[in-house]
Chains A and B, each alone.
Chain A
Amino acid sequence: MSALKIKKGATSHSAYNLRPNFSDVEERHTLALLVENEPGVLARVIGLYAGRGYNIDSLTVAEVDHTGHLSRITIVTRGTPQVIEQIKAQTGRIISVREVHDLTVEGPAVERELAMFKVAGTGDKRVEALRLADIFRANVVDSTLESFVFEITGAPEKIDAFADLMRPLGLIDVARTGVAALSRGS
């Protein structure tokens, strides 16, 4: 379990605060779920969100503990504090969900996303794209005389910013992984 860097003592119960504040302002929260890696587990989580009308801004999933058969699902969601509490409580109710962590409230966390951008163009635009990619520390993972594929990792905002810059320079395709997140420190 320690390999998962999930905070000790943070059980699925502690993630939902039964005395939340009741503001009506929407918040963005990053949730990390530790789930049993079994067929249908992702469908359970997604089905819950769809059925109850919760937002999913981003979702990533992969096995993180092979021997323990555990996967980690990272979900970025939005809602008022009351809705966020509901989301956590409802998610925690799924039998195959072992732990629910709200990284947004459990302390500082790092969020990273990987994206690939295909930019086509010639002349000045091509040069400018390459120059900006350099500034953003994006790697060129494929190139032809008319196109580049850039690979970039970073916080979602950084990737959004890079996308904004590439758009006028001939952006023709984007693939993003969605957010992976871990709490900071030990």
Chain B
Amino acid sequence: MTRQMTGAKMIVQALIDQGVDTVFGYPGGAVLPIYDEIFQQNSIKHVLVRHEQGAVHAAEGYARATGKPGVCLVTSGPGATNAVTGLTDALMDSIPIVVLTGQVPTFMIGSDAFQEADTVGITRPCTKHNWLVKETDNLSGTIHEAFHVAMSGRPGPVLVDIPKDVQFATGEYTPKAAKKSHYQPQLKGDMDAIVELVEAMEKAKKPVFYTGGGVINSGPAASQLLRELVEATGFPITSTLMGLGCYPASGDKWLGMLGMHGLYEANMAMHGCDLMINIGARFDDRITGVVDKFSPNSKKAHIDIDPSSINKVIRVDIPIMGDVGHVLEDLLKVWKSRGRKTNSEAVAKWWKQIEEWRAKDCLKFEQKGAVIKPQYALSRLEALTQKYDRYICTEVGQHQMWAAQYLGFEDPNRWMTSGGLGTMGYGFPASIGVQMAHPEALVINVAGEASWLMNMQELGTAMQYQLPVKQFILNNERLGMVRQWQELLHGERYSSSWSESLPDFVKLAEAFGAKGIICSDPDTLDDAIMEMLTHKGPVVFDCLVTKHENCFPMIPSGKAHNEMIMGEVDTSTAIDAEGKVLV
């Protein structure tokens, strides 16, 4: 069955056929025909953001909280360039999003037309793939292919650039899956390698699972299989920032997050293990510390759907290319069929060692005095939100690391944070995307005051759509993470790391018609948090915290996992000259 329709109508039809229910966008001249079609239908909700960067982060939040692709629609030129940060963010964190951009008409491309930008050129390095569609007949097929590419293999952002004349012209609609895509990444892992890993697991004396965002991207079934594997083997498990929730924080095999601000026991286990099983993580530099000293005595296995992640940073002994869910299923099968063996005696000894590390209680802090410690604020937030259906977003900085340390995640898809790119301004719009996907859930954005200001205009969006997102701002009146590095590396010369001229956040909230709460007293914190939680609409919570708190533990730049600094130490010797050049 072939159907003729305009390009603009085709776009909406293709989105409907892809099961899209929400589009985050901002109109402009080059997308007016598409907006006209959106106006005339009811299947797709359009969320008008206040800045295109917000649209992309909202789509990312939506995608991460649902496992479905997030969709954006923005105009040509400035609309497209404003989307670049979000695209790069999604590329770094492997988040599937589809961004549709308007473009000047085909006959004007290359003439420096009004609001013309070389969108596919600009976004080529920050998308998984992009397309400029020059014929209406190819439009719907390209959009379907875009969804396929975004979601298949290692997920990522894609962009389809659509000139205005292509939107107006009539063409033939190609239904979804009419043509099989050439892009078909390998999902099953090599059986020989899987058997080799099982053999290594049977013998391992000091094994550790090192998991990452790949587990979450593989879907809820992968997290389920991982849990089964961990319980069955009794091996300890840690995770990157991106993988939090793939194994429950309440599980007794859980070591907590690893990496630069990871837990002592997690990093020590990584350093001392004899078998490291990397599942869907990528040996990022925030994880490895200095590569030469990374886990020197371990055999390393790496399960990853992206062959370019394997042996990129760390040379591994057992590479397994495939989808985490598929590989774990086979791994469990093989391990069971060989008699469910582990070296339980040695592993028990290993656990004893880990318990000793755990006993250090590296996250302990003392709430004393009249000022709220950020760690305390997050501990209270954690305690008071236990029974909620809860989703957490963050901005970027110290508060982000504290959130990762002090909040517990029981399930995948409940933690949205900008990991790879570290984008300040991510969290607020992401929380809007999450709330759109889960209208009844409690959605909290743990923010720093500086990051939050980067996309605070989205308060208008939250109000317009009555999205009750809770903006929990840990206000230290500092670009805290920058200040911490200046303290550690630059002789406490705090160059431009003061948050000066901050707004009155309560009044700011009220100016948008939202609720503002301020709290500076540890004794009233619980009540204030409860007030935030029980309020029906969006809340901006200004939580005034200690200004010069440092985020510990920390692997200083240029150091190894077993060289963590645990707390306030002589910081002048913590990082040497070589470490200073690292970011």
Q: A residues engaging B (CB < 8 A)?
A: 13, 16, 18-20, 22, 36, 39-40, 43-44, 47, 51, 82, 85-86, 89-90, 92-96, 98
- Inter-chain CA distance A100–B100, complex, in Å, is 30
> Number of B residues whose C-beta is below 8 Å from A?
20
Is A47's CB under 8 angstroms from B308's CB?
no
Is B319's CB under 8 angstroms from A18's CB?
yes
B182 in complex: contacting residue of A22, A86, A98, CB < 8 Å: A98
CB distance from B490 to the nearest CB of A (A): 28
B287 in the interface (beta carbon within 8 A):
no
A47 in complex: contacting residue of B124, B128, B321, CB < 8 Å: B124
CB distance from A41 to the nearest CB of B (A): 11
Q: Which residues of A contact B306 (CB under 8 A)?
A: 89, 93
CB distance from A91 to the nearest CB of B (A): 9
Given A16-B307, A92-B307, 18 other A-B residues pairs in contact with their CB atoms under 8 A: A13-B307, A18-B310, A18-B311, A19-B319, A40-B124, A43-B121, A43-B124, A47-B125, A51-B125, A82-B315, A85-B311, A86-B312, A89-B310, A89-B312, A93-B308, A94-B129, A95-B149, A96-B129
Is A95's CB under 8 angstroms from B183's CB?
yes
Is B124's CB under 8 angstroms from A18's CB?
no
Contacts A95-B128, A95-B129; A40 near B120 (Cβ below 8 A): yes
Q: Interface centre among A40, A85, A90, A95, by most B CB within 10 Å?
A: A95
Closest to A50 in B: B125
Quick one: which of B137-155 are within 8 Å of A by CB? 149
- Inter-chain CA distance A64–B10, complex, in Å, is 34
Closest to B130 in A: A40
Closest to A44 in B: B124
Sort A-B residue pairs by CB-CB distance and give the 6 closest, nearest first: A89-B308, A18-B319, A95-B129, A89-B307, A90-B308, A93-B308
- Inter-chain CA distance A92–B308, complex, in Å, is 9
Q: Which residues of B contact A39 (CB under 8 A)?
A: 132
Q: Interface centre among B132, B306, B311, by most A CB within 10 Å?
A: B311
Closest to A18 in B: B319
Contacts A13-B186, A47-B124, A95-B149; A82 near B311 (Cβ below 8 A): yes
- Inter-chain CA distance A51–B307, complex, in Å, is 19
CB distance from A48 to the nearest CB of B (A): 8
Q: Which residues of A contact B315 (CB under 8 A)?
A: 22, 82
Quick one: which of B103-141 are within 8 Å of A by CB? 120-121, 124-125, 128-129, 132
- Inter-chain CA distance A98–B183, complex, in Å, is 8
CB distance from A150 to the nearest CB of B (A): 39
Closest to B310 in A: A18
Q: Which residues of A contact B125 (CB under 8 A)?
A: 47, 51
Closest to A48 in B: B125
CB pairs A–B below 8 angstroms (14 shown)? A13-B321, A18-B307, A18-B319, A18-B321, A40-B120, A40-B124, A51-B125, A82-B311, A86-B312, A89-B307, A92-B307, A95-B183, A96-B129, A98-B182
- Inter-chain CA distance A183–B309, complex, in Å, is 28
- Map CB proximity to A onto B376-390 as digits: 1 under 8 Å, 0 otherwise: 000000000000000
What's the dominant secondary structure at chain A's contact region?
A: mixed
Q: Which residues of B contact A98 (CB under 8 A)?
A: 182
Closest to B128 in A: A95
- Inter-chain CA distance A22–B319, complex, in Å, is 14
Q: Which residues of B contact A86 (CB under 8 A)?
A: 308, 311-312
- Inter-chain CA distance A166–B307, complex, in Å, is 46
Closest to B315 in A: A22
Q: Which residues of A contact B312 (CB under 8 A)?
A: 86, 89
CB distance from B120 to the nearest CB of A (A): 6
Q: Which residues of A contact B132 (CB under 8 A)?
A: 39-40
Quick one: which of B166-219 are within 8 Å of A by CB? 182-183, 186
Q: Which residues of A contact B124 (CB under 8 A)?
A: 40, 43-44, 47
Q: Which residues of A contact B121 (CB under 8 A)?
A: 40, 43
Quick one: which of B307-343 are within 8 Å of A by CB? 307-308, 310-312, 315, 319, 321
Closest to A36 in B: B182
Closest to A22 in B: B315
- Inter-chain CA distance A20–B310, complex, in Å, is 11
Closest to B309 in A: A89
Q: Interface centre among B120, B128, B312, by most A CB within 10 Å?
A: B312
CB distance from B35 to the nearest CB of A (A): 27
CB distance from B101 to the nearest CB of A (A): 15
Q: Which residues of B contact A20 (CB under 8 A)?
A: 311
Q: Which residues of A contact B319 (CB under 8 A)?
A: 18-19
Closest to A13 in B: B186
Closest to B145 in A: A95
CB distance from A81 to the nearest CB of B (A): 10
Q: Which residues of B contact A18 (CB under 8 A)?
A: 307, 310-311, 319, 321
Q: Interface centre among A44, A89, A96, by most B CB within 10 Å?
A: A89
Closest to B321 in A: A18
Q: Which residues of B contact A44 (CB under 8 A)?
A: 124
- Inter-chain CA distance A19–B315, complex, in Å, is 9
- Inter-chain CA distance A7–B310, complex, in Å, is 25
- Inter-chain CA distance A98–B368, complex, in Å, is 62
Q: Which residues of B contact A36 (CB under 8 A)?
A: 182
Q: Which residues of B contact A82 (CB under 8 A)?
A: 311, 315
Q: Which residues of A contact B307 (CB under 8 A)?
A: 13, 16, 18, 89, 92-93
Q: Which residues of A contact B310 (CB under 8 A)?
A: 18, 89
CB distance from B342 to the nearest CB of A (A): 25
CB distance from A11 to the nearest CB of B (A): 9
CB distance from A15 to the nearest CB of B (A): 10
Closest to A39 in B: B132
Q: Which residues of A contact B308 (CB under 8 A)?
A: 86, 89-90, 92-93
- Inter-chain CA distance A13–B310, complex, in Å, is 13
CB distance from B98 to the nearest CB of A (A): 14
Q: Interface centre among A13, A22, A51, A86, by most B CB within 10 Å?
A: A86
